Chains A and B, each alone.
Chain A
Amino acid sequence: MSCCAPGAETALDLNGATWVLPSSQEIRLASRSLGDDLRQTDLSVPTVHCAACIQTIEAALGKLDHVESARVNLSTKRVAVRWRGDEVPPFVAALGRLGYEAHLFAPEIDDKDKTLAELIRAVAVAGFAAGNIMLLSVSVWSGAEGATRDLFHWVSALIAIPALAFAGGIFFRSAWNALRHGRMNMDVPIAVGVSLAYAMSLYETINHGDHAYFDASVSLLFFLLIGRTLDHVMRERARTAVKGLSQLAARGAMVLRGDGARDYLPVGEIEPGMRMLIAAGERIPVDGKIIQGTSDLDCSLASGESTPKNVAPGEAVQAGVLNLTGPLTIEATAAAKDSFLAEMVRLMEAAEGGRAQYRRIADRVSALYAPMVHLTAFVTFLGWIVATGDWHRAMTIAIAVLIITCPCALGLAVPIVQVVAARRLFENGIMVKDGSAMERLAIVDIAVFDKTGTLTLGQPRLVNAPSIDPAMLAVAADLAAHSRHPFSKAIAGFAIPGGQLKFDAVTEHPGFGIEATDAGSTWRLGRRGWAGWKARTGGEAKHGYGGTVLTKNGMIVASFAFEDALRVDARAAIDQLSDARVPVEMLSGDTAAACAEVAKSLGIDNFVPCLLPSGKLERIETLAKVGHRVLMVGDGLNDTPALSAAHVSIAPATAADVGRNAADFVFLRESLLAVPLALDVSRKAGSLIRQNIAVATLYNTIAVPIAILGHATPLIAAIAMSASSLLVIGNALRLEGFVRHAPAETVANDRHSNNGGRVQL
């Protein structure tokens, strides 16, 4: 850990305190067998940065017993560890000691990205063919005649075959797919243009003609494939980054058998009636009932309640809530497929609304464009036959029209802008799942926010610290350091360095608080009723009986008030959205009082409290029905159906796994300014896309008459097509200058993001 402290990417250091090491059973469950007793585990290590990190990690892991090899992939920020034997080597703990937080990665059967490999291979083949054919074409243009020209044409025709078969296959398949389903996409005119151009050029070559368009058809494929590959790389990077976030859902649980044996079972194998042990810091895997133990549960991710809930035996618990303070024994009342989580997924799948109906700009344009182009070519053909009666000439000119209008620029106009925009967002810690998300975000007219975990951090903050005796606050902070309860963590932040008291025997009473003795006196930090057993409760009723107090020998010496800490820049983000003419609404599962407070401090006029997940969904659907295009920003399990029902959705990296997967955008940094930034970039990308389409159309209105009149030669076609593509790409790059520059904190990351821009080309 020399050159770059892992802290540099604090945004990824999400919920450090609630992070528990995955148990060895869990690691074994998430590893895959390579045969011959060898197993591989993939870990996501978001904080690897540089050569020193690679060396430290690989050396440290390589030294562990039974570890066969460890290999860091810096681009994806993952470590692949290969190990043998029954015992799982303690590699997560070893990484933790080095200061790297590691998350287990779901085993992937198909490790390599097949589509990307196919695209890159196609680009390589098309590039090779385009280069060589262009070389031959230049000789033809500069005056090769007779047998030499024919030879060059024949060689070009030969080189073009593998390019068309291999690189063109991607377009042919997509075009065929679209036509078969009665739809139209940009690939249809491309496929028609390329194959007709090739066929006619071959005919010309056989008849010793000079109108061969081999160069045009192959370089068209080459340009389009570059755009398509960049687009794919960008989306894949975003998806990899999102997949690398820590998994929040439980992967399995320790099941207590009737005979006292303990087994670690994957979530899918837990059946109703089984008893599970849930340690403090673990999430509850399936719905259940508490048999034994008391604890505090953090329900913020499941229901949106910000205050931890105190639970005792007999109470029901939902899958997905986090056990904070004490160990619990739970009897499963539902299997995973019937649990809360699965219900959310079902609601989410049923809600798939706005985005499924959305048709991408490129598809809408091509639905207009393709028939027009094909009709123009056909009319040209008829016109020339009527005018001259020369079949061959009419055919040549009609195909020249098709080639000139082939949507090279149009095919690049949209993806190139989206690649540049996605990269801009990536540098600011915002991951875009696909290009259509940006198109959809650009047209939203109302934003709906979840409260807990989205507008707020879902973590309490001590509000009355200045009014508390500093000495007492220091005592409380020292005590609080022993607990993972969110209130304790908030108080522990006020510890005075060095001034530690020596407590004897600190014990945590789950559900109540922390107790410690020091020189004969007993200190307690926790619920009023438990800690202040000598005090007359009832006074200071403002915080209720549940208020948190510090007591010395039963006498209250300090009381603490908390509020849910607002996310960084929440207010600024809401203001910016309002400036962008996107009104904001807040939907929450939390109480009306808690919502009102947050709404007031953020200046939000509309909010609906106490909503069930289906209530949020209904609200979104109502808004959509009256014609609004809704942006949903949320993190909880209970937001998931709403996230997928909305026109477009954004989730923070701290969101529940399902929510993260359902959302179109995921932002990794803490600041909520990511939302207006994404909106801003998307809108600018939208206007650039329109400009690009206008440029491409303008090009056609100039070039098409030339082609119709029969003046298009292969040379003119080649120049016109390349020029329009370059124009469109140049216009897309203007987006880089448009958008506000990233705040200073991103500088550390920029180097890495920039490297990623240098794609495999």
Chain B
Amino acid sequence: MRTLAYLIPGTLLLGGLGLSGFLWALKSGQYEDLDGAAERILVDQEDKPER
């Protein structure tokens, strides 16, 4: 019973972290061009990073 007291909050915290990570990714537009993202890995980018 004692173990549950910290295991359950721990589980929920980690799960919540994953969920908020997904929601953040969604909001920042990372799911808007899945095909493009897959192909862009093949593009040689110049060294200077994009703004």
Contact = CB atoms under 8 A, between A and B. Distances in A.
Interface of A: 50-52, 54-55, 69, 72-76, 112, 117, 120-121, 124-125, 128, 131-132, 135-136, 147-148, 151, 155, 159, 752, 755-756, 758, 760
B36 A74 contact: yes
Given A73-B33, A74-B33, A121-B23, A128 B15 contact: yes
16 contacts: A54-B39, A54-B40, A55-B43, A74-B35, A74-B39, A75-B33, A75-B34, A120-B31, A121-B26, A131-B15, A132-B15, A136-B8, A752-B35, A756-B34, A760-B26, A760-B31
Contacts of B12: 132, 155, 159
Contacts of B11: 132, 135
A717 B35 CA distance: 39
A128 B40 CA distance: 30
Which has the most chain A C-beta neighbours within 10 Å: B16, B41, B43? B43
The 9 A-B pairs with the shortest beta carbon distances in the complex, nearest first, are A74-B36, A51-B42, A51-B39, A74-B35, A760-B31, A73-B33, A128-B19, A75-B35, A55-B43
Contacts of B15: 128, 131-132
B33 A76 contact: yes
Given A128-B16, A132-B15, A147 B38 contact: no
Given A54-B43, A151-B4, A125 B31 contact: no
Contacts of B8: 136, 151, 155
A125 B12 CA distance: 13
Candidate in A72, A74, A151 with the most chain B CB atoms within 10 angstroms: A74
Contacts of A755: 34-35, 38
Interface string B2-44: 0010001001100110110011001000011111101111111
Given A75-B36, A131-B15, A155-B12, 7 more contacts: A51-B39, A54-B40, A73-B33, A147-B1, A752-B35, A755-B35, A760-B31
B39 to A, nearest CB: 4
Chain B at the A interface: mostly helix, strand, loop or mixed? Answer: helix
Nearest to A151: B4
Contacts of B1: 147-148
Nearest to B38: A755
B19 A756 contact: no
A476 B42 CA distance: 48
Contact of B32 (A69, A73, A151): A73
B36 A125 contact: no
Contacts of A72: 36
B43 to A, nearest CB: 5
Contacts of B42: 50-52
A368 to B, nearest CB: 38
Contacts of A148: 1, 4
B37 to A, nearest CB: 8
Nearest to A76: B33
Contacts of B23: 121, 124
- The secondary-structure label for the interface of chain A is helix
A758 B40 contact: no
B45 to A, nearest CB: 9
B40 A760 contact: no
A652 to B, nearest CB: 25
A47 to B, nearest CB: 14
Contact of B34 (A50, A120, A124, A758): A758
B10 to A, nearest CB: 12
A117 B39 contact: no
Residue of A50, A51, A147 with most partner-chain B CB within 10 A: A51
Contact of B43 (A51, A75, A76, A752): A51
Given A128-B18, A131-B15, A50 B33 contact: no
Contacts of B19: 124-125, 128
A760 B8 CA distance: 29
A47 B40 CA distance: 16
Nearest to B26: A120
Contacts of B41: 51
A52 B19 CA distance: 34
A233 to B, nearest CB: 11
Given A132-B12, A132-B15, A159-B12, A124 B39 contact: no
A73 B4 contact: no
Contacts of A55: 43-44
B4 A124 contact: no
- A52, A128, A136, A151: which has the most chain B beta carbons within 10 Å? A128
Given A55-B43, A159-B12, A124 B22 contact: yes
A760 B34 CA distance: 8
A125 B18 CA distance: 11
A120 B26 CA distance: 9
B22 A51 contact: no
A135 B8 CA distance: 10
B25 to A, nearest CB: 10
A541 to B, nearest CB: 59
Contacts of B4: 148, 151
A148 B7 CA distance: 13
Nearest to A117: B26
A155 B4 CA distance: 11
Nearest to B1: A148
Contacts of B44: 55
Nearest to B41: A51
Contacts of A135: 11
Contacts of A50: 39, 42
B26 to A, nearest CB: 6
A75 B39 CA distance: 11
Contacts of A758: 34
A125 B22 CA distance: 10
A567 to B, nearest CB: 30
Nearest to B36: A74
A752 B51 CA distance: 29
A243 to B, nearest CB: 16
A132 B38 CA distance: 31
Nearest to B46: A59
A758 B18 CA distance: 20
Contacts of B22: 124
Nearest to A48: B36
Contacts of A151: 4, 8
Contacts of A147: 1
Contact of A73 (B36, B43, B51): B36
A474 to B, nearest CB: 44
A220 B19 CA distance: 19
A54 B42 CA distance: 10
A51 B32 contact: no
A502 B12 CA distance: 81
A112 B4 CA distance: 43
A75 B26 contact: no
B49 to A, nearest CB: 13
Contacts of A120: 26, 31
Contacts of B36: 54, 72-75
